[in-house]
Chain A
Amino acid sequence: MSVFNQSRSTVIRLIVAGVFLIIVAQLVNLQLFSSKYEALAFNNAVYPKVRYPDRGIIYDRKGKAILNNTIMFDLEVTPSQIKGVDTGFLCKLVEIDTAEFKKRIITAILKNGRYRPSIFEDLLTPEMHARLEENIYKFPGFALVERPVRVYPFKAAAHIMGYIGEADSGNIKRSNGFYRLGDYVGKTGLESFYERVLMGKRGVEYLIKDNKNRLVGKYENGIYDTAAVAGRNLHTYIDIELQQLAEKLMQGKVGAVVAIEPKTGGILSMVSGPNFDPNMLTGPNKQQNFNKLFLDVSSPLLNRAIKGQYPPGSTFKPLGALVALDEGIITPSFGIGCGGAYYGCSRPVKCTHSNAGHAANLRLAIANSCNSYFTHIYRLSVDAGKYKGVKNGYQKWKEYMNAFDLGVRVGVDLPSEDRGNIPDSSVYNKVYRNSWNSCTNLTLGIGQDMMLATPLQLANSMCIIANKGYYYTPHFVKNIEDETPADSIMNPFRTKHEPLTGISDDAYEAVISGMQDVVEIGTARMAKLPNINVCAKTGTAENYRVIEGKRTKLKDNSVFVCFAPREDPKIAIAVIVENAGYGGTWAGPIAALMMEKFLNDTLRTERLKEVERIAASNLMPGYLIREQYKADSTRAYNWFKMTKDSSAIKRFLRRDFKKDSLQQNQNSPLPVRDIRTTWHRPEAIVPEQYSFTHPVTA
């Protein structure tokens, strides 16, 4: 019988061979042609732990660290190891209730699993850390973990330094995969502008994890690990003591101060008011603090030094003179007779002086701030015969302005700078339907009409005059530690700009002498300093704002520009205080104190009283109270509509709010002295879009 079925052994052999062939084919498929499995296995078992480098430190001109790193503590929890923890006691220490405790544990398990530590409470306050440290041994599964945090030891320069925050989806997308979720990235200020320098290089440690996500050791003994490279430090021109003084002086005021070293373009100080302590946006409660600042209608987060746009007013006059001189239209001896107004066009432009000879030459015109003189030379400049028509002439004049960095971004090393406004002739064409001439916009000559400039631009224009024709783009950073030619970020700040070529030294001397006269005998006498020749120009710009649907004239903006000493300028300053009256009243004294502090390195004792007087003055515009009330109650109402939660809106009901708060409150007693504690307002609810626009004066 066996003989008959012999062939069947071959069949069986073929069946075996067939099945083995299928298996080998699948092995070829899996092992030779599918590349995904290697990556899958790697992802399964290897956990790349990012080692964060220390961010770079920022120093001031004297080598003091003004932005440094410190260590704070997070409380971490490994859910699988919590056994026999006295939750009540722990909750008491962390100041939460047991329901919140449970919620956090569940969140931790969902986020990282039971076997891996997750953050339970981040950035403990020093008190909470101390309390926990003593008792941590009682809480198995909980651990205190160090975490580097940015700290601002001088509590100053918030707007300059900026702050860091976790990278958002926009940061991650824009960085082409460089940033990952959980990374910290500079959000504003120098932190943002020099992000790549400050952040250093991340290191990666490859760790092995097992099937329960426990980390069990190093992958391949760490041969693929890379060390973290600390971020490089920045050395700046900032004088932190000057900065602190300026911030103190700007307390309770809306406005900005910019001080620049003319020879280098290095910014010595930059303040925007209202101001805040930069430490609010780092460490514990940073989110609550941010919300508070964000919802404040006085916009403390806004850097008005680069984003506030103001009509420069009379402070523009010296620049107008420079244009006319460079064009060869006037000489320093050029003069006009002004009888109290300019009558060259149908609409007269008033002048504060009417005595004969107050505009007999350039120096006198500047010293007396003659409106007629400067509207006249503006008209002469744009109507010059060689340009064949006002439109070309104006365009040429605009080019001058742009060369002074007016109407364009200066290019300071801070993000989101505004450009101010020097309108293109096309704008006038549109507004006046092509029929306009030098009479239409003649107040450009005295820094009004559509002209807007940022305080930084004004300070820079002072540098041009102080330097007699050149400037460096204003910037904060003197050098990067271990700088290499690859740091091209620094190149724009080392290029000399020379917008004026055709002006003789004598002509400059006339302008500068005029400005010195302003201090000696004119409107800026409060800025006079012993043994130092100060050159300055005051400005007072009309200030309108739409309030309650009506265009309302508010108290003038106080503008002041200056530089000193005349012979060897070391500091140029622009100060704007909104809603504060004459340039000489508030902006001038602030600039004077700053010059004295910087040039003499100290203030005379009798001047300290002046510092206290200015610091204690509240010039916050009164309408802000009403605006804050409106913003908060509207938000509370929307919140109520959305959630039916009436707790926020309650306080706004049945309240008799007086609309008379438009009155100035600067001489009233000061209930809110420190701007860092902001206005009376209810809890922050949902962030609301707001924008800062400044009115255009006519």
Chain B
Amino acid sequence: MSIRVDGVSKSFGAFKALDNVSLDVPQGTLLALLGPSGSGKTTLLRIIAGLEWPDSGRIEEDGTDITDRHARQREVGFVFQHYALFRHMSVFENVAFGMRVRKAPHAEVKARVDELLHLVRLDNLGARKPAQLSGGQRQRVALARALAIRPRILLLDEPFGALDAKVRVELRQWLRRLHDEIGMTTVFVTHDQEEAFELADDVVVMNEGHVEQRGKPEEVFDKPATPFVMDFLGNVNVYHGRVENGRAFWHGVPIDYPDYPHAQARAARVYLRPHELDIARAPSGGPSEANQGTSLAATVLRQTRTGPITRITCQPQEGGSELHVDLPSAAARQLGLQPGEAVSITPRHVRVFLPDPEYVI
């Protein structure tokens, strides 16, 4: 089942949650809506589910307009962040609920629930109450319950948000396998880029009610379309620099930037990812050494090791804000930098964003 969101807007009072959003979800895609809280991603998901109504715009399912179709008739599977299980019912009855209200024959209900409990690996827990399960188990019950009605699309709202880190990783790998097996069109909401990149075929980055970028995970990561996407994907060094004559300047270090061939200088923002910087001990000349060629002279402030990555925080010698460089911990140990040492930093990759060109031309 393919979904098409066409020019949907939605306001809550003065707050514009969605501003003319359009989106295509082809049949069988696993799509992530990624964005910070308040970006409208959950509202969009709820509109697709029929839990909210758009102020304007249309929702189509395989070309049929379903904008006015009630949630009850949409036949979507929906998984809530906080599970939303029926506390007074057993696991079995939770999963069976959708079939019970449809008055399905008992034997059919039993067979389907057993099959689903097997699918979510909760075979022997049918008699338990939700309160007797762990968070990960509860979310799997919620998933089985959503799948029980044989939905046409599956929608998940921050499905792993309430789980601890280890369970979260397990469950999302499992969900990916499940999706590959049953191939249902699936949309999930997350604010966790790692989750989006690991799980999704397609990532839609949202911000302030509109879509910033849509693409394959590697496209979004490698070619962020906007400063927001670059920023949101996190861990980035941002500098105010300038562009002129096909080059961008960052602390006076020139970087090729063919997109701006004009002679007139313009302010620009320069984004450097910490893992795309090379760091080396400065030639013995000492701390007064000036920037050389394409590298920046800096002083090491401190090193922080977080597991396999070591983050080196440096201060550019001509001032300005601190700069982070990520190295594999083994490489960092081999380099053996000490605080106060002079280093030269060379970017392997730089992204430059010009502010909106309101005064150019």
Q: Do A and B interact with each other, yes or no?
A: no
Interface residues of B (CB under 8 A from A): none
Interface residues of A (CB under 8 A from B): none
